[in-house]
């Protein structure tokens, strides 16, 4: 009656190529640096993305 799996299998995830931005669909693929969130290009880096969103907000006003 033990229906529990013997091991946990994580779901499949896209494997990023080291040195290429792994953000977006389709994947960006630009040259990138490794951040805590993964491989990101200048636009998709945490600071770059925050600046991009702030620029969009000021453009809409």
Count of H-run helices and E-run strands, the chain:
1, 2
- The predicted model gives 21-45 an average pLDDT of 88
pLDDT number for residue 36 = 85
Alpha carbons within 13 A on the beta-carbon side of 17: 8
Number of CB atoms found within 10 A of residue 21's CB: 22
Mean pLDDT over the full length of the chain = 81
> Domain boundaries in the chain?
18-61
* Three-state secondary structure of 11-31: CCCCCCCCCECCCCCCCCCCE
Length of the chain: 61
More confident residue, 19 or 16: 19
Asked whether the whole model's pTM tops 0.95, one would answer no
């Amino acid at each position: 009656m033990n229906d529990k799996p013997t091991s946990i299998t994580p779901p499949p995830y896209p494997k990023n190529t080291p040195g290429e931005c792994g953000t977006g669909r389709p994947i960006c693929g630009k040259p990138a640096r490794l951040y805590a969130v993964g491989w990101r290009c200048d636009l998709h880096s945490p600071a770059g993305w925050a600046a991009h969103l702030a620029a969009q907000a000021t453009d809409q006003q």
